[in-house]
Every structure is written in structure tokens, then in C-alpha cells.
Structure 1
Amino acid sequence: MPYQPIENYGVIGNMRTAALVGLDGSLDWLCLPRFDSPSVFGALLDDRKGGFFRIAPTAEGVRHKQYYWPDTNILVTRFLHPDGVAEIEDYMPVGPGAPPADQLVRRARVVRGRLAFTVECRPAFDYARAKHETRVDEYGVRFDAPDLSLGLASSVPLRPDGTGAAGTFTLDEGASAAFILRVIERDAPSGYCPGTAEAEDRFRETVAFWQRWLSKCTYQGRWREAVHRSALALKLLTYEPTGAIVAAPTTSLPEGIGGTRNWDYRYCWLRDAAFTVYAFLRIGFTDEAARFMDWLAARWKEHESHCGAPLQLMYAVDGRSDLTEYELPHLDGYMGSRPVRVGNGAHGQLQLDVYGELMDAVYLHNKYARPVSYDAWVSLRGLVDWVADNWDRPDEGVWETRGARKDHVYSRFMCWVALDRGLRLADKRALPANRAKWLAARDAVYEQVMAKGWSETRKSFVQSYGADNLDASLLLMPLTFFMAPDDPRMLATVDAIRAPATKGGLAADGLVYRYDYRATHDGLDGAEGTFNMCSFWLVEALTRAGRTDPARLAEARLRFEQMLGYGSPLGLFGEQTGTSGQALGNFPQGFTQLALISAAFNLDRALDGR
């Protein structure tokens, strides 16, 4: 197959960047030295020009499987054939003993029988735009592009093959071959390949790092394996130098095969704040929550103006605010899905909901981890003051549509969340605040949402004022305590959303569309799949309503189990799920893994009667 299904990829990384490895043993995506750097291997977006690093048996009729080394982010790709069974272990060294430069280790070994292999390493620097030189030295192969040099050390001989390197080798049972790809200084040797003992030590150090980290997880519920894998995936999406968390490690994987809804998700969204902090705190990872809060604090203290607002909705992992979007027309896109985009034009949109998510994150972190300092409060107080003055403005909304600004109901009630959490925080800590102003604004938002956000025609809250379109973001009303989960209006809204899409709802076999993209003028062409995050939101809404309604709780559990069935064999989720159950959108999607953790945690509590 020219392109692997998206769900056929596993992810590895070192908290600075990440790589995707397919079932066929091909590493098809890697950006160096960090998540949002240009790609070195990009076959995921162009199987001919993008570049890849493939190791696989030469025999025909090989079957493939993948799994993670227990409680780690070390990926094992297994090849099964009548002549033997082989494995490739892929990982990026992490932990105290990790090398200073970015490295990727690939170790092939035969566990039974005897197999011949081919190896091909064909980098394509700068999204396949930059030319490079390939040279073989006594240690391996080096690839020199204008802005980056890579060394490939190998325990088996490699030869130049065009602009790449290739080789063949045969392994008997118990034998192995190691390949180490590393960033090197220009004109430095490619670097040696460690011996068997040293390679084994590096492997075990990485195993120990991940298992030690995961041992801090306090979740002991029914879906421990799924929660652990989601936590490990989220950890891979963190950028260790700053504490930021990227939405996904990829760009331009399509929301519909062959379509144009292809976006760059290698950045950090503020709206992930409350959900990230909540998920990490709930399962015991306070250090990650604290690091992310430090990153957020740097953003709110900057107070730069974006669209007349003090914050923009997303930033680069280093805090950079300029994320100018442009296209790469020379790349075909995943299965012909064009254009391929770098940067994200939505960074310049006005999305008022981010202030609610930010203040909710601050409130939760103050409650469960670390008190807010006075200096931080001075900055936050200014943000809440701004919300009190500006909550009534139309905006682009949570889904980053590229049509006209509207009075989105989600944005309105998240402004209520910002004001509410500001008031709660001020009262809990006796902090100085303009309470009267905030309280008046909070009540005004609530009254307006109840008057204008409710449709008597649909008997439901709707996407925006004056419209009759449903929106799955409304499921967060009870999750943010804007409404009681068993309020008649909330129950009616949940029922409207959970109705089949063919009958005016947003559901399809336990899955949920974020909105009806055919009826909503979102300024975008093409189709999209159901939103996995929204499907988990429905589980949570049913869970909370199910505390007084056993039938809804039983439905929540069934829908959660159905959702787990739509994950990849490794337990990873993309942004969306297509009509045939295939993964769509950037992969793996951090927000979806977060939503899984939150749904599992709260569903466990409800089922236990707590």
C-alpha cells in the first residue's frame, strides 16, 4: 500500500519531537529538532517525495503486529513469517542517561528462525524542499542539508543509494542489528553504533524512565490500560523545555480523505489548559500540570494584543505567537488530500472561550496543586476585567471556522466560566478583585445564554444565537458547572445531540459529530468525520446525568466501550473517525486522549456510587 491507514501508526518521542512508525516498519514522519520544525521524514504526506526510514524483512507474505513494551513509549513492530519471527524496537532515548543530542534508535532482531532484511533511509529535509548530500564514512552515513545534519550509525554495512542509504542483512535467531539516527554538527563524523551491551543498557534506561514515570499514576479503575496509554501519549506530546503540550505531532492529516480540511496541529492551544490540568491532576501527575501552568503563566503575563484581545488562542511550544499559515503545493498530501499546510491561520482569530478554559485551569491548579501567587493574580485579574467588558462580542468560536463571526453559545458560557472562576478564586483566597463588576457580568452572561441560546423550535441549546444548529460543545455545560446535568434544558439538549444524525441529531453509532458541517456555513469545503473528543464529552454528560438516572449511566458505559473500540490497536486516537471506522485528522490527538481520561475517571466514580 502506498499509504498506511492512519490508525496503523505508532508514535515514539523524547518530549521535544515525535516520530510515527507504520505496521510495515517504515518511519514516515519525523520533524527535527522539535515538533514544529520542518520534517526530515514526511512520507506520511507524500509517499514519493516525503522521505522515510524503513526496515523490514524481504520475504513475501509477512504478517504485521504492533505493541508497546509494557508501560512505556517503546514501540515494537513484529513481523511473522513461516521462516521466522522478527521484531523492530523503536524509541528515542530519554531519562538521566539519555544522550545530549536528539537520537532515534531502531533495533531489529530475530526471535525465531532466520530472516533477511532490507533497510532504506531516505531523508527529505525541510518538507522535501531542501537538497542534501549523502556521504559514507567509517562510522556510518551522514546527510548534510543547509540547516541540519544527520548521522546514521549502523551495526551492518550501508551503501549510498541516490540521496539516501540502503543495505541488506540476514539475522539468525537471537541476533540483532542496531541503527541510530542522530542530529550531528556539520563536518562531525556520523557517530559510532554502540555495541550489544551498551545498546541494551540504553534500552533499559529508557524502559526504566517510562515505567518510573507511569508508576505515579493514581488511576486504578476499570479502564486502567486505556488510561495509561492515553497518559503516556500525552506525555509524549509535552515539550519538555517549556512545559507546553502540542495538540498533535503531525500536520495536514485530513479530516476527510481527499478533502481540504487539513491543518497544522503542532502547536499549543490555550483551550487545552483546563482539560490538560484536570486530566493530569486527576490521575496524579502534578508535575506535568505545574509545568503546563508555568507555560500558561508566561502567556498571560505577556498581555500582547491579538484581535483586540489580550491573548491569542494558540502559540508555538516556545511561546512564539506568529504562526503564519502557508501551503506546500509540491507535496501530494496524505492519499491526495491537499493542500498540505504549515502554520495555522486560526491563531489570529478571536475566540473568547479561551479565557474560560484558562481561568478554570488556574482555579483547579490552585485547588489541587499550587496556590496562585499575588503577581500572577494581578495579571489574571486584568484578564477577567477584560472579559467582563468584552464578553458580548461575536467571535469565530471553538471550532475555528473560517466564516463570519457569530454569537456562539459555547463562547458565551465559557466567558461565564472565566468570570465565575475569577470570583471563586478571589473569594477562596481573599484576593482583591472588582467583585461587583464581575458578578454583574457573570449574571448578565447567564441570563443572555438562557434567553438567546435556547431554541424553542429545537427544544435545545443551539450553536449560535438565532440559529437552530446543534453543536457538541454544548455538552460541556454541565462539565463546567454552568448547568446542572439533570436540568430539564440540559437533558433535552443531550437528547437532541445523541439522536441519530439522520434524524437531526449529531450521533452515529455511539460517535458524535461536532456540528452539522453541511448545514453550518463554516467557510470550509469538504466533508469530515465524527469528533472523538465530542463522543467522550457525551459519555461524561450522560455519566453526570446518570447519577440520578441509572438508564443514562448504563448508556454512558456502553458508549464509552464503543468508543474504545474505535481506537487504534495501540489505544491511540486521531481527531476524528470516518464512516468506515478509520482514523481521520492529526494523530495521535492529545485532546481526544485527555477526554478519554476524564470520561474514564468520572464514569468509574459514578459506577462506584461516588
Structure 2
Amino acid sequence: MAYQPIENYAIIGDMHTVALVAMNGSIDWLCIPYFDSPSVFAALLDDEKGGRFKIAPQESDVRYKQFYWPGTNVIVTRFLSSQGAAELTDFMPIEPDTEGGVHRFRLIRRLTAVRGTIDFVLQCCPAFNYALDPHQAERITSGVIFSNDKLSLVLSTDKTLKITEKGVVGHFTLKEGESTVFALIQMTPGSEWAMHLSNKEAERLFRLTVDYWRRWIAQCHYTGRWREMVYRSALTLKLLTFKPTGAIVAAATTSLPEEIGGIRNWDYRFSWIRDSAFTVYAFMRLGFTEEAQRYMEFLSRVYKGISKDKPPLQIMYGVDGRTDLKEVELHHLEGYKGSRPVRIGNNAYRQVQLDIYGELIDAIYLFNKYGAPISYDEWQEVRRLIDWVTEHWQQEDEGIWEVRGRRHHFIYSKLMCWVALDRGLRLAEKRSFPTDVTEWRKVRNDIYSYIMERGWNPKIKSFVQYPGTDALDAATLMMPLVLFVSPTDPKILGTLQAVMRPPQEGGLLANNLLYRYNLDKTADGLRGKEATFNICTFWLVEALARAGQFQPELLEEAHLLFERMLGFANHVGLYAEQTGSSGEALGNFPQAFTHLALISSAYNLDKTLGT
């Protein structure tokens, strides 16, 4: 089998883990029981050894279509062949955890012959622990058990399956109107699986899951343009939340490349402070205050207090709050289309990124305003964070893009330090919280002057990545978005003009898509190239839209750019981290960063366009 394009996948999940379902009916990525657990199916990262769970017509000449059941995260894959038509419905049931809070992983695949009589083939070839650990397969009355000393999975079915070297294979036929159910279930202590999951029980779980997702999205307050795309982005962000702790993962996958055959392959199955804070903002905009509250509770648990020898917060945590995310390379896997190395863990957790404090405190400020008032004890934590920023904002860091070269005085990092002080002052004034207002105001003013004087390059008439360079940084587009300057400030308009030049002229815009920086001018410590960054294009849309309130031609540019960007979503409305030169998805998938930026830009563009 050949690798599927990244954009050929849809995602299902139960807020503990997710699976990627390809248009050809193959589940090529699944970690059990949690997002960052070892994989069971990883054909996405090694077509030969990674493991997959595929159900499809036996005929080779098949057309595929895929869509989400309306208002849900239940995916339907449609097979169209000369024998007839069939539908494969995939979902993970959303039910309360069992007594004692134990989560039970279940994946249900219901196959129905809609027209004609169709011959099918099933391949279920688990590869435990990133294809490192062997397992045994054993027939039981209700199917097959795959197990080793760490994990046991039951593939429940009433079809006859043949055990092979890699897993099981089954051939069967369905006539028009017939259905069959396959369920992959994690065995837990004391569990017994003596019976096949019936169509009736599968239907009950299907209706329960559909009802859950529809009730959840019904809480959304958004009624503007592009509602379907905003809803899909919200549903995707919800899938990327970890129910037990409230953590939010940056993406569902690891090591999907930013360049085919390149080395820029990272593990994004962790909870970044930055990404999560932006996600909280997106949830708040749409009216989902519970998700924001849960993430704030997660932060309260992982917060360790001020330490003299390290910053008070890491830039990321495990979904369970763990702090050691050591990076390891899996040399036995070839990587997506030969893109090595495959990495698990992420050494960026050791980096200093000053911007996270601004993003976090801005989210807390908005939560206090639109969600629930923060407590005095929570304010004390916020105050300690801001006090740390006042003492360290002048240091160099690795910045928002996590460069693996040398540190710099990144202007975006200074900008978000300013945001930390600004939102802290607003919060203190609004709630009459005690703090050293005079000191905070002084530092806030110092940062403002630093950015305006040292972050501005008069030669190219633009804000730049760091003082003394002419390299642009798409993150500076956040300046008007965080209310640092007016959206029509001449320096912002100059920055917009600069970044919208093509890369060969020093700019960042190519084919209506934006790079995060120009690799010819920014040494990020890594070999190879990368594609345009989806979140940056949405930032550009929002910056243009805000300026467009006063300059209609910029609003028209924002509107057109947004519509073009929607065209780069895949067939079910999902985005990866980046978009390649031919419109292909690159980087980890789906990417929370992209979807939260879509929500924010849609919200603000719709508001500016009016009725």
C-alpha cells in the first residue's frame, strides 16, 4: 500500500485519544488509551511496519467519499464500486467513565451495504508500542484478542477471521440492506467479552454519541458567516481536549513532516501553554466557558511556583501534567513517505519562551471577563507570574517558533510580555486586586518603548523578528490583534505591506499563503525547508480586517484572502499545520493552532463586514 496524502484523513475521538481514518477505510493512526500513549496503528509513519485497521471493498476500482455526520465527530466513509455502494460509519462512543473513573477505550466501525451485493476485505494488523513490541492473537467466541503483557485488545465481530503473521484478515459479503459491526475494545481488569457487539447495541451507542456532539455544538453562540467551518473547527478543538485533566493537545499526531523527506518532524501530542491559551480564547468567543474553566484547573495543578533557577512555567506539559517530555528518535520507522526521524517526546519543553506568559494571562483576563471571576488565590498565582516577567522580559529566548539555533530578543516575545503586564493591570483595576501598580506600569512602558524603538526597521519600514535584522516575522501581525497599536498605525500598515511581498523580495506571502519567516534570512538551526504556516495566513486576514474598518480596500483583501484560505481545508474541513506549494497538507494533523485561528479570524472578519 502507498501512503495516503495527509489531507485524505478525517479524525474521530473520545477526548482521551483519537484515530485518523483515511478515505480508503483504513485507520492508520491510533494510540491507546491516550493521545500520547504508544501507537497501536501507525501506518501513517511506516506503511509496512506501522500497523493499520482497514475495511474496504475487495474490488480494486473503488471511488471513495467521506463526510461527518452533521454536527458531530462521527465520520462516514462511502464506497462506490461496480458491485454497489456501501457506508462505513466510524466513531468512539462518548459515555460516562465506568465506576471509579476508569476510562474504557472503544472504537466502533459499522459497515452497511446500501446498494447491491459487495465483497469486502478486512485487515487488522496492530503494531504495539510504535511497532516495537510483539503481541499474540487468539480466537475467541466473539472475535480475536490481541495482547501482550502491557495491553489487550478485543476485535469483536461475528465474521470469520484468519490469523496471520501481522494480525488478522477476513473476507465476507454483504447484501443490500445488511450491516455488520466491528468493535475494537481495550480489555480492563475483570472485563469479560463473551458476546459480539450487536447491531442494536451499536445503534444505541451511535445515537448516544451523535446526541452528545449535537448537544455540545448547540451551545455555540456563533451565528455569523462561514458557520459550518467555524463549527467544524470548534468540534475539532473539542476532540483535542483531554477529558480527565482539561489539557488541550496541539495536534493529534507526531512526526508528520513540514517537508517531505526532511527532518522537521516533531511530536505535537502535548499541551502547549501558548496553543492552549489561544484555544481558550477561541472557546470563549464561541461561548464554551466550561472548556476554558477546565483548562484553568489544569494549569492550577501543574503550576509549580517561582523557582530561582528556572521559569515558573514550562512551555508545554503532558496531558496528565507530567513535565519530562524527553525526545527520542524511533530509528526502526521510516517516517511518512521516508521523512526521518520519527520522534516521540519533544525537547522544546526545555526552552525558554517568554511569550507564553502574555498568552496565558490574556486568556485568564478574558476568562475573568466572559467566564467566571477568578479567585484571590488565582490572582496570587497570576501576580507571581507577572512579577517574574517584570524581572526577566529583557532576556533572550527561543521564541514562539521554537528555534533550535541561538536565542534572540524576539520582538514577538517582548510583545507578549507587554500583554502580560497590560492584562495584569487591567485585571487588577477591574477587580481591585492588590499589586505594585507603579512598577508594573513602568515595566509595561519600558517594553512598549523597546518594541517601538528597537523592533522597528526604518530601512524596510516594518517591524522585524529581532533588533538589528531585516528578517520579517509573521508573529508581529499580532500587534493590532492584542491591542498593542492601532490597526491603522503607519508602522502596522508598513508591516502589512512588507510581509505581503513575495519571499524573493524579502516578504512572506506566496500564492496567498504566508510563511512564518523567511528561511533565507532566519537561521533557525535546522536543515531543510518548510511550507507556509496556516495560522499566519489567518493572522494576516485578521490584521487586514481590523485595518479594513477604516480602509475598505484592506477589508476586501481580508475577505478574499479568507475565502481562499478556506479552499485549502481538506474534504471534511480539517487543516494540518502547514500548506505546501501544491496545496497539500504538511505537518501534524489536525492542528489546533490553525483551527483556533480560523475561528478568531472568522469572528472578527464577520463582525467587521457587518450584516
- Shorter chain as denominator, the TM-score bin is over 0.9
CA distance change for structure 1 residues 303 and 498 in 2, over 3 Å: closer, same or farther?
same
Asked whether the 8 Å contact 1:150–1:190 carries over to 2, the reply is no
- Aligned pairs (5 A) from 1:421-460: 421-460=423-462
| Secondary structure at the counterpart of residue 543 of structure 2 | helix
The residue that corresponds to 2:25 in the other structure is 25
The residue that corresponds to 2:68 in the other structure is 68
Q: Does structure 1 residue 169 correspond to structure 2 residue 172?
A: yes
CA distance change for structure 1 residues 320 and 208 in 2, over 3 Å: closer, same or farther?
same
| Secondary structure at the counterpart of residue 117 of structure 2 | strand
CA distance change for structure 1 residues 190 and 133 in 2, over 3 Å: closer, same or farther?
farther
The residue that corresponds to 1:506 in the other structure is 508
| Secondary structure at the counterpart of residue 121 of structure 2 | strand
Q: Which segment is superposed worse, 147-156 or 565-574? A: 147-156
Asked whether the 8 Å contact 2:248–2:276 carries over to 1, the reply is no
Q: Does structure 1 residue 9 correspond to structure 2 residue 4?
A: no
Q: Which segment is superposed worse, 476-485 or 287-296? A: 287-296
Asked whether the 8 Å contact 1:109–1:171 carries over to 2, the reply is yes
Asked whether the 8 Å contact 2:33–2:105 carries over to 1, the reply is yes
The residue that corresponds to 2:571 in the other structure is 569
| Secondary structure at the counterpart of residue 182 of structure 1 | strand
Instruction: Give the distance between the partners of 1:92 and 1:203, measured in 2 at CA.
Output: 9
Q: Does structure 1 residue 274 correspond to structure 2 residue 265?
A: no
Asked whether the 8 Å contact 2:292–2:367 carries over to 1, the reply is yes
The residue that corresponds to 1:376 in the other structure is 378
Instruction: Give the distance between the partners of 2:246 and 2:279, measured in 1 at CA.
Output: 12
CA distance change for structure 1 residues 375 and 129 in 2, over 3 Å: closer, same or farther?
same
| Secondary structure at the counterpart of residue 575 of structure 2 | coil
Instruction: Give the distance between the partners of 1:24 and 1:304, measured in 2 at CA.
Output: 51
Instruction: Give the distance between the partners of 1:4 and 1:144, measured in 2 at CA.
Output: 28
Asked whether the 8 Å contact 2:249–2:276 carries over to 1, the reply is no
CA distance change for structure 1 residues 488 and 198 in 2, over 3 Å: closer, same or farther?
same
The residue that corresponds to 1:288 in the other structure is 291
Q: Which segment is superposed worse, 185-194 or 411-420? A: 185-194
CA shift for structure 1 position 304 = 6.0
CA distance change for structure 1 residues 272 and 307 in 2, over 3 Å: closer, same or farther?
farther
CA distance change for structure 1 residues 314 and 387 in 2, over 3 Å: closer, same or farther?
same
The residue that corresponds to 1:254 in the other structure is 257
Instruction: Give the distance between the partners of 2:256 and 2:302, measured in 1 at CA.
Output: 28
User: Which of 523, 527, 530 matches 1:528?
Assistant: 530
User: Which of 589, 604, 607 matches 2:606?
Assistant: 604
Instruction: Give the distance between the partners of 2:244 and 2:306, measured in 1 at CA.
Output: 22
Asked whether the 8 Å contact 1:150–1:181 carries over to 2, the reply is yes
| Secondary structure at the counterpart of residue 370 of structure 1 | coil
The residue that corresponds to 1:205 in the other structure is 208
User: Which of 484, 487, 495 matches 2:486?
Assistant: 484
Amino acid at match of 1:241: P
CA distance change for structure 1 residues 87 and 527 in 2, over 3 Å: closer, same or farther?
same
CA distance change for structure 1 residues 198 and 535 in 2, over 3 Å: closer, same or farther?
same
Asked whether the 8 Å contact 1:132–1:163 carries over to 2, the reply is no
Q: Does structure 1 residue 35 correspond to structure 2 residue 38?
A: no
- Aligned pairs (5 A) from 1:125-524: 125-185=128-188, 190-300=193-303, 302-303=304-305, 305=307, 308-524=310-526
Q: Where do 5+ consecutive residues of structure 1 fail to align?
A: none
Query: Runs ≥4 in structure 1, deviation > 6 angstroms?
Result: none
Instruction: Give the distance between the partners of 1:34 and 1:191, measured in 2 at CA.
Output: 26
Amino acid at match of 1:510: N
Instruction: Give the distance between the partners of 1:280 and 1:155, measured in 2 at CA.
Output: 42
CA distance change for structure 1 residues 424 and 462 in 2, over 3 Å: closer, same or farther?
same
Q: Which segment is superposed worse, 1-10 or 260-269? A: 1-10
Amino acid at match of 2:21: V
Instruction: Give the distance between the partners of 1:7 and 1:307, measured in 2 at CA.
Output: 43
CA shift for structure 1 position 187 = 9.0
Instruction: Give the distance between the partners of 1:192 and 1:503, measured in 2 at CA.
Output: 66
CA shift for structure 1 position 190 = 4.8
Q: Which segment is superposed worse, 289-298 or 163-172? A: 289-298
| Secondary structure at the counterpart of residue 476 of structure 1 | helix
- Aligned pairs (5 A) from 1:53-132: 53-96=53-96, 100-132=103-135
- Structure 1-normalised TM-score? 0.98
Asked whether the 8 Å contact 1:273–1:361 carries over to 2, the reply is no
CA shift for structure 1 position 284 = 1.4
Amino acid at match of 1:553: L
Paired residues in the alignment total 608
Q: What per-residue deviation string (whole Å, max 9, x for no partner) do you get for residues 555-596 of structure 1?
A: 101000000000101000000000110000000001100000
Amino acid at match of 1:295: F
Q: What RMSD, in angstroms, separates the aligned Cα atoms of the two structures?
A: 1.4
Asked whether the 8 Å contact 2:97–2:104 carries over to 1, the reply is no
CA shift for structure 1 position 250 = 0.3
| Secondary structure at the counterpart of residue 207 of structure 1 | helix
Instruction: Give the distance between the partners of 2:273 and 2:358, measured in 1 at CA.
Output: 10
Q: What per-residue deviation string (whole Å, max 9, x for no partner) do you get for residues 179-202 of structure 1?
A: 000110379655532222221111
Instruction: Give the distance between the partners of 1:517 and 1:149, measured in 2 at CA.
Output: 46
Q: What per-residue deviation string (whole Å, max 9, x for no partner) do you get for residues 237-267 of structure 1?
A: 0000111110001000000000000000000
CA shift for structure 1 position 292 = 1.3
CA distance change for structure 1 residues 56 and 379 in 2, over 3 Å: closer, same or farther?
same
Asked whether the 8 Å contact 1:52–1:122 carries over to 2, the reply is yes
CA shift for structure 1 position 157 = 1.6
CA shift for structure 1 position 5 = 0.2
Q: Where do 5+ consecutive residues of structure 2 fail to align?
A: none
Q: What per-residue deviation string (whole Å, max 9, x for no partner) do you get for residues 313-368 of structure 1?
A: 00011111110001000000000000000000000000000000011011000000
Amino acid at match of 1:63: R
Q: Which segment is superposed worse, 491-500 or 36-45? A: 491-500
The residue that corresponds to 2:554 in the other structure is 552
Q: What per-residue deviation string (whole Å, max 9, x for no partner) do you get for residues 400-426 of structure 1?
A: 010011000000011000011111100
Amino acid at match of 2:241: T
Q: What per-residue deviation string (whole Å, max 9, x for no partner) do you get for residues 34-68 of structure 1?
A: 00000000000000000000000001210011100
CA distance change for structure 1 residues 244 and 469 in 2, over 3 Å: closer, same or farther?
same
CA shift for structure 1 position 166 = 1.3
Q: Does structure 1 residue 50 correspond to structure 2 residue 50?
A: yes
Asked whether the 8 Å contact 2:117–2:174 carries over to 1, the reply is yes
CA shift for structure 1 position 277 = 1.7
Instruction: Give the distance between the partners of 1:190 and 1:161, measured in 2 at CA.
Output: 22
CA distance change for structure 1 residues 16 and 501 in 2, over 3 Å: closer, same or farther?
same
Instruction: Give the distance between the partners of 1:7 and 1:476, measured in 2 at CA.
Output: 28
CA shift for structure 1 position 82 = 2.2
Asked whether the 8 Å contact 1:152–1:190 carries over to 2, the reply is no
Instruction: Give the distance between the partners of 1:193 and 1:97, measured in 2 at CA.
Output: 21
| Secondary structure at the counterpart of residue 239 of structure 1 | coil
CA shift for structure 1 position 305 = 4.4
Asked whether the 8 Å contact 1:234–1:593 carries over to 2, the reply is yes
CA shift for structure 1 position 299 = 2.9
Amino acid at match of 1:264: D
CA shift for structure 1 position 159 = 2.1
Asked whether the 8 Å contact 1:31–1:39 carries over to 2, the reply is yes
Asked whether the 8 Å contact 1:31–1:38 carries over to 2, the reply is yes
